[in-house]
Amino acid sequence: MDALDERGPGVSGAGGRAGVSGAGGVRAYGDKRNDGAVQVSFTLPVAKSAVAVEAAKRFVLKMGLREPYVTLAEPIAPDFTYFVVYGRAAHDVDLSAIAASDAAAPDLSRDEIDAEIARRFGRRLVVLGCALESDAHTVGLDAIFNMKGFSGDYGLERYHGFDARNLGAQVPVAEVARRVREDAADAVLVSATVTQNDIHVRHMTELVDMLEAEGLRDRVVLIAGGARVDHALAQELGYDAGFGPGTTPSRVAAFLLEEISRRLPRAER
Amino acid sequence: MTPKLGLSPERIARCRSLARSVAEGVRRETEPYTTVATERTVLRLLGVDGVDSEEVPVPNKVVAALASAGRLSRGAAVWIGSALAGGARDVEEAAARLSDPGSAASVREHPLWREAIAPHVEAGLDRIRTRRAERERRLASHPRDEQPLLYAIVATGNIHEDVVQAEAAARAGAQCIAVIRSTAQSLLDHVPYGATSSGFGGTFATQENFRLMRAALDSIEDELGRYVRLVNYASGLCMPEIAAMGAFERLDFMLNDALYGIIFRDINPLRTLIDQNFSRRINAAAGVVINTGEDNYLTTADAVEQAPAVLASQFINERLAKDAGLEDWQIGLGHAFEIDPELEDGLLYEIAQAQSAREIFPDAPLKYMPPTKHMTGNVFRGYQQNALFALTSVATGQSIHLLGMLTEALHTPFLHDRWLAIDQAKTIRTNARHLAEELRFAPDGRIVRRAHEVLAGAEKILETVAGRGLFDALSAGVFADTRRPIDRGRGLDGVVRRDPAYTNPFLEAWTRSMSGAPA
């Protein structure tokens, strides 16, 4: 049951819940350090019965949680039962072995970003935004682009330093490439909302391939955002950065400022 | 329902009269045209169906052939009728004779085409009447449904999996099941054929998928002791074709917004408004309740600022619906609970908006949409927002309550996400059953003031739109800050100027029945 440590160094087997975990090891926290308290909820495709409840317990035990306590076993359909289960996770995680990071961006206000763009570039930076191919949703794009912005933070259209061009949803990758060329874009923001069957990964990859094939990839900063996007995934797909849910426009703006600055000498050579 | 907001009946009447003039302008501008989708729909109503070996629907083949032969401007019915009068055995053979440009050009107009087609027109009308009567009979056999009707979505992409989810939702208490469409179907200029098991963010709207879900929901009607309503989308480039399929397969609600495709899918304004009218005539004949899409304005723009635009659009949607023969009980005007939950008194503004809609459109089955824009991935907070939404819905007497999902913005709903939503809405509906009867608002309070302000704002917008005409207003970006010129957008190449002798026998039949005594 403890043989769950497939993730390599950093996640130790943590023999029992009594001991304090090693240096850097961190465990889930309920109401005291190292209690490992965890809540999970899930549905099993089984009619509610004593067998179903026991199955839920065993399922949770296999997940590495001890002392499973089933607090809800609700028959939500004739052959389905919904469970909420509390338990204690045996595992700990070594923080010092984790390399993951968010896209680095300085903490700057809109005025500071505008002033820096004027100082460093002496022109407005052209930023294209789009959702690709079959993705018809603009909610993420609008949060970053529209004047109104998101969570009290104004969108890129409000900045003097950006010429923000929102291409909308369902933009074919070839069209993005064309606009990069014709608009001499400095950056492209791709918003991915529809993620069923990993369709977003496919479309995001197609865009990188298209830009590379046309020799445009090095000319633009390429950023992805969306509910199921993070920095690591974006980088893996060949993007410069990825931003997950809750990202404010000013954070994207600050990243654009720094990344375009960093690349500019090379791009204009 | 007792009016509680003290809204001026004169101002409401003036908004209606402005909307009438907007709709009149739309009629004038669209009447000289038909569209490829409208003509494909005529074919479907006549019984043309099926696909060729390359999955191209037969109605598309015929319309494309007639268009390239320069004959579409008379209307597809003329040529089907002529082929029948000229010896085609049935509609299928008539369609086959018209399905390539060469043969479409060689069919001559037959003097007896009207006589030849009349029985097929009658069969199409009868097919719709039969399905409608069947719904009415089923509904009448059960006690009246508790309101607001709980409306759940399924969106697995696979119709067979959708059926599992839909039956579970219906058993848990959902009264309406909407099968969310695969993303981007609105931009297909044909309707896919047959049962489908893969889609993105939803399931393709096909006639076979409609039939499968209808049969599944009918199969549990006796067990539940109630009729479960089925919902799909008459929207996009195939708006009227899907309305026809919905009529044939006894769909009960169809999303049908006059402006949605124009603003949010960049479909050409003329194309949309022509197709919108014909699709609504079909909905009217089928006894379908349309659901309009005003909630969408709020997903991109600010809900507090856009409230007057929502109300203005409701007035326009109402008028265009009535002009297409829909009755009050069929006009499910949409609105949404989308105000930022951080805003002080935001809930009061929501109540003002929902109560106004109820008072201004007292006989419309209002469709109330859940929060989506301010759903952050914090599922606990999302569940709390949905509870406030459900409470507002009950407190203001909404008719159709689209269940909010706590995992909105994360993934398509899991089985238990939907169950949690149904359980929440049922509990609140019962727990606050007679709240609306008890509630009164302070006469000079924030809710009343807000309602008056929004109505005045809507009147201003309607003055602007009536003054310059809807098409001009669309090109100026009056709605949702989006500019849509009349000569741009998808599907414009499918708009065809009518010949003076253009004929659409279904439009004729439904226009006749409108001017006659009510059915």
pLDDT band at B90 (very low <50, low <70, confident <90, very high): very high
Measure in Å the smallest separation between the Cα of B370 and chain A Cα atoms.
Answer: 15
| Crossing angle of helices B346-360 and B446-468, rounded to 10° | 60
Contacts with B196 from chain A: Cβ below 8 Å: none
Average pLDDT in the B243-251 region? 98
Instruction: Say if the Cβ atoms of B415 and A134 lie within 8 Å.
Output: no
Look at residue A211 and tell me whether its pLDDT is greater than 90.
yes
Q: CA B116 → CA B56, B66, B101, B359, B435, distances in Å?
A: 27, 19, 22, 49, 59
Residue-wise pLDDT for B420-464, tens only, equals 999 999 999 999 999 999 999 999 999 999 999 999 999 999 999
Nearest to A138 among B171, B300, B411 (CB): B300
Predicted pLDDT of residue A266: 45
Instruction: Say if the Cβ atoms of B184 and A134 lie within 8 Å.
Output: yes
Contacts of B231 (CB under 8 A, 6+ apart): B151, B176, B177, B178, B179, B251, B252, B253, B254, B255, B291
Quote the CA–CA distance of B162 and B174 in Å, as a whole number.
Answer: 14
Instruction: Say if the Cβ atoms of B300 and A194 lie within 8 Å.
Output: no
ipTM of the complex: 0.87
Contacts with A41 from chain B: Cβ below 8 Å: 416
Name the residue of chain A whose CA is nearest to B377's CA.
Answer: A245
Site from B163, B200, B299, B423 to mutate, A interface, most A CB atoms within 10 angstroms: B200
Handedness of CA A179, A185, A191, A195 (dihedral sign): positive
Chain A within 8 Å of B376 (Cβ-Cβ)? yes
Give the residue carrying structure tokens 């359980």: B423
Chain A within 8 Å of B198 (Cβ-Cβ)? yes
Nearest to B183 among A134, A139, A246 (CB): A134
Could you give the residue ranges of the DSSP H alpha helices within B173-266?
A: 207-219, 221-224, 239-248, 260-265
Instruction: Say if the Cβ atoms of B200 and A41 lie within 8 Å.
Output: no
Name the residue of chain B whose CA is nearest to A137's CA.
Answer: B183
* 3-state SS class at B229: strand
Least confident interval from A14-18, B50-54, B380-384, B490-494: A14-18
Quote the CA–CA distance of A26 and A41 in Å, as a whole number.
Answer: 23
Tokens encoding B509 = 């039949």
A188 burial type by CB count under 10 A (0-12 exposed, 13-18 middle, 19+ buried): buried
Mean pLDDT of chain B: 94
Instruction: Say if the Cβ atoms of B373 and A139 lie within 8 Å.
Output: yes
Contacts with A197 from chain B: Cβ below 8 Å: 157, 198, 200
Measure in Å the smallest separation between the Cα of A262 and chain B Cα atoms.
Answer: 32
Measure in Å the smallest separation between the Cα of B347 and chain A Cα atoms.
Answer: 18
Q: How many CB atoms lie within 10 A of CB A174?
A: 12
Average pLDDT in the B183-202 region? 90
Compare B432 and A134 and report the one with higher pLDDT. B432
- Rg, C-alpha atoms of chain A: 23
pLDDT band at A138 (very low <50, low <70, confident <90, very high): confident
Residues of A catalogued as catalytic: 148
pLDDT band at A242 (very low <50, low <70, confident <90, very high): very high
Predicted pLDDT of residue A201: 87
* 3-state SS class at B274: helix
Measure in Å the smallest separation between the Cα of A198 and chain B Cα atoms.
Answer: 10
B322 is catalytic: no
Contacts with B184 from chain A: Cβ below 8 Å: 133-134, 136, 170
pLDDT band at A239 (very low <50, low <70, confident <90, very high): very high
Instruction: Say if the Cβ atoms of B168 and A82 lie within 8 Å.
Output: no
Quote the CA–CA distance of A263 and B479 in Å, as a whole number.
Answer: 40
Look at residue A2 and tell me whether its pLDDT is greater than 50.
no
**Do the Cβ atoms of B117 and B84 come closer than 8 Å?**
yes
Among the listed residues B143, B154, B205, B214, the one whose alpha carbon sits nearest the alpha carbon of residue B422? B154
- The per-residue DSSP string of B323-361 comes to HTT--GGGEE-EEE--S-TTSTTHHHHHHHHHHHHHHHS
Task: Spell out where A63-106 has E strands.
Answer: 65-77, 80-89, 93-94
Predicted pLDDT of residue B477: 83
Average pLDDT in the B299-324 region? 90
Contacts of A45 (CB under 8 A, 6+ apart): A79, A80
Residue-wise pLDDT for B111-136, tens only, equals 999 999 999 999 999 999 999 999 99
What letter would DSSP give residue A17?
S
Instruction: Say if the Cβ atoms of A196 and B266 lie within 8 Å.
Output: no
pLDDT band at A21 (very low <50, low <70, confident <90, very high): very low
Longest dimension (CA), chain A: 71
Compare A99 and B447 and report the one with higher pLDDT. B447
Nearest to A76 among B168, B201, B376 (CB): B168
Quote the CA–CA distance of B214 and A57 in Å, as a whole number.
Answer: 38
Contacts with B183 from chain A: Cβ below 8 Å: 134-137, 194
Site from B156, B380, B416 to mutate, A interface, most A CB atoms within 10 angstroms: B416
Residues 298-327 of chain B with CB under 8 A from chain A are: 299-302
* 3-state SS class at B230: strand
Predicted pLDDT of residue B7: 98
Residue-wise pLDDT for B43-56, tens only, equals 999 999 999 999 99
**Do the Cβ atoms of B56 and B190 come closer than 8 Å?**
yes
Chain A within 8 Å of B414 (Cβ-Cβ)? yes
Instruction: Say if the Cβ atoms of A77 and B419 lie within 8 Å.
Output: yes
Which strand ranges, in their side-by-side order, compose the sheet holding A37-44? A37-44, A80-89, A65-77
A and B: number of Cβ contacts within 8 A: 71
Instruction: Say if the Cβ atoms of B377 and A197 lie within 8 Å.
Output: no
The percentage of chain B sitting over the pLDDT mark of 70, rounded to a whole number, equals 98
Instruction: Say if the Cβ atoms of A227 and B171 lie within 8 Å.
Output: no
Least confident interval from A204-213, B115-124, B354-363: A204-213
Residue-wise pLDDT for A43-83, tens only, equals 999 999 999 999 999 999 999 999 999 999 999 999 999 99
Average pLDDT in the A22-49 region? 91
Predicted pLDDT of residue B515: 58
**Do the Cβ atoms of B373 and B332 come closer than 8 Å?**
no
Name the residue of chain A whose CA is nearest to B423's CA.
Answer: A76
Chain A within 8 Å of B266 (Cβ-Cβ)? yes
Predicted pLDDT of residue A18: 41
Among the listed residues B130, B126, B110, the one whose alpha carbon sits nearest the alpha carbon of residue B46? B126
Average pLDDT in the B192-196 region? 96
Catalytic, out of B367, B368, B373, B417: B367
Chain A within 8 Å of B186 (Cβ-Cβ)? yes
Catalytic, out of B257, B275, B295, B417: B295
Q: How many CB atoms lie within 10 A of CB A93?
A: 17
Predicted pLDDT of residue B300: 65
What letter would DSSP give residue A42?
E
Look at residue B237 and tell me whether its pLDDT is greater than 90.
yes
State phi, psi for A65 to the nearest 5 degrees.
Answer: -100, 135
B502 is catalytic: no
pLDDT band at A3 (very low <50, low <70, confident <90, very high): very low
Phi/psi-derived region of residue A37, left when phi > 0, alpha when psi is between -120 and 50, beta in every other case: beta
Contacts with B406 from chain A: Cβ below 8 Å: none
pTM greater than the 0.90 cutoff? no
Predicted pLDDT of residue A153: 84
Query: Residues of A near B (CB-CB distance < 8 A)?
Result: 41-43, 74, 76-78, 80, 82, 133-139, 142, 146, 148, 168, 170, 194-197, 199, 227, 245-246
State phi, psi for A232 to the nearest 5 degrees.
Answer: -65, -45
Instruction: Say if the Cβ atoms of B411 and A41 lie within 8 Å.
Output: no
Give the residue carrying structure tokens 């004729």: B508
Nearest to A170 among B168, B187, B410 (CB): B187
Look at residue A230 and tell me whether its pLDDT is greater than 80.
yes
Chain A within 8 Å of B200 (Cβ-Cβ)? yes
Average pLDDT in the B453-482 region? 92
Look at residue A115 and tell me whether its pLDDT is greater than 50.
yes
Quote the CA–CA distance of B36 and B41 in Å, as a whole number.
Answer: 9
